[in-house]
Amino acid sequence: MADRGLPAARAHKPRPALSILQTSGHICWGGEPNHVFLLSSGLLAAGHRVIVAAPRASALAERCIASGIPVCTHVRFSHQLRDYGLLHDARAVAQLIRDHNVSVLHTHASRDTWAGALASLASDVRIVRTRHNLQYNRTGMLNRWLYGRLDGLIVISKAIRDEFRRNHLVPNQRITVIPDAADLRRFYPRPLAIGLREEWGIPVDGFVIGSAGRLSIEKGHHVLVEAAAMVVCQAPSAWVVIAGEGAEETALRCHIERRGLVGRVILLGFREDIEDFYAATNLLVVPSLSEGLGTVVIEGLAMGKPIIASNIGGIPELIEDGRTGRLVPPNDAAALAATILALMTSPTAAAAFGQAGRARVARHYSLGRLTARTLRLYEQITAAAPVRHASRASS
């Protein structure tokens, strides 16, 4: 007999699948393409339709194709706003929106955001942009028009959010902090990768200091080279390996040669096996001079590695100094060297940093969390009228 005193249970109506277009113009691999790739993978796994628009020659397009993520490579995302390339890209994005009935256009940099904003002129598609860095934002009329077309702005750190609060390009209620993530199935603590050390010509019992990232001035690898010169004088067992490629490679090689560190500081180029690279190190260093958050920091923490990083940008949101790693002043080679030497002689503290860091990433920076929080924003903005239509109605 039915209990008439209890209300009937409500059946949860399944949420309809969204059709999402992700865009990125980066050619080389880095934090932004990694974010787009991870998020697209997570959204597809959650049952949504996703297509990625990226230049044909980009590392992101190659990785998406290899992983079975639908990708369109008929875009260039030109740097020049007056270039016909921008109109070409806007038409390509508009065609994708129509062909795939896209409900959310999610852009990740300036070039693709401009193309998306123009493509949306004849569409009700909702536009979200993720801002990945702390670069200066122009606040002139063009940028105000551009950011005024966004239904939501995602920033990967509170540091970037605070910059937008100062420049007033986007109302505070339209800004959402959703940090980067690591795939914990790929990045996890594992035994020391002895084979890679042998490949690099480093003794099995050497102390290996690793760093990874694009070889550009703002990543601060030249500071690490200076610190290495001080470290190896006091710790002959220390070696430095740097994974990455970029415009500063030649300058870094010259710097290494001038400091007499050839063979002791090794540039490895881009590494597809970045998790194995991490596993071959005893300690990771992130010497950035500017950093929105820090993909390498998240991946290194997920691997259970002790990390020393610059106290700048979004990095302090990841590393609690003295608990999940160590923070040093940016562009201070002496402070960096002293902190490296201190951790080299404190294996217990280094191991504790690694354990606490892994636990922190598992709690706050997983792929599942990135996907769920982004989907929540998508659902909010698709349930409301496009911001640009609401602005016209109120004017």
Q: Which of 164, 135, 174 is nearest to 292 (CA)?
A: 135
Query: Are the C-beta atoms of residues 24 and 108 closer than 8 Å to each other?
Result: yes
Residues 6+ apart with CB under 8 A from 349: 306, 343
Q: Does residue 148 share a domain with residue 257?
A: no
* Residues 107, 146: Cα–Cα separation, whole Å: 12
- We report the CATH number of the domain holding residue 289 as 3.40.50.2000
Residue 148 sits in which domain range? 19-181+368-390
Question: Residue 2 domain-assigned?
Answer: no
Q: Which of 373, 372, 282, 365 is nearest to 318 (CA)?
A: 365
Q: Does residue 135 share a domain with residue 81?
A: yes
**Burial (CB count within 10 angstroms: exposed 0-12, middle 13-18, buried 19+), residue 165:** middle
Q: Does residue 262 share a domain with residue 340?
A: yes
Question: Residue 281 domain-assigned?
Answer: yes
Q: Does residue 138 share a domain with residue 70?
A: yes
- pTM (two decimals): 0.91
For residue 210, what are its two tokens?
């690793």
* Residues 39, 306: Cα–Cα separation, whole Å: 26
Q: 295-302 and 347-364 helices cross at what angle (nearest 10)?
A: 110
Q: Which of 359, 357, 312 is nearest to 336 (CA)?
A: 312
DSSP 8-state secondary structure symbol assigned to residue 246 = S
Domain count within the chain: 2
Query: Are the C-beta atoms of residues 298 and 271 closer than 8 Å to each other?
Result: no
Q: Does residue 203 share a domain with residue 128?
A: no
Per-residue pLDDT at 386: 85
Q: Does residue 382 share a domain with residue 358?
A: no
Distance from CA of residue 104 to its chain's centroid?
A: 20
Q: Which of 106, 100, 93 is nearest to 42 (CA)?
A: 106
pLDDT per 10-residue tile (average), the chain, 395 residues: 40 74 94 97 97 96 97 86 80 96 96 95 94 86 94 97 93 96 96 94 96 96 98 97 96 98 97 96 97 97 98 97 97 98 96 97 97 97 78 43
Query: Are the C-beta atoms of residues 70 and 60 closer than 8 Å to each other?
Result: no
Q: Does residue 171 share a domain with residue 36?
A: yes
Q: Does residue 145 share a domain with residue 35?
A: yes
Q: Does residue 358 share a domain with residue 345?
A: yes
Question: Residue 1 domain-assigned?
Answer: no
Question: Residue 76 domain-assigned?
Answer: yes
Q: Does residue 332 share a domain with residue 220?
A: yes
Q: Does residue 228 share a domain with residue 133?
A: no
* Residues 117, 104: Cα–Cα separation, whole Å: 12
* Residues 229, 29: Cα–Cα separation, whole Å: 29
Q: Does residue 200 share a domain with residue 324?
A: yes
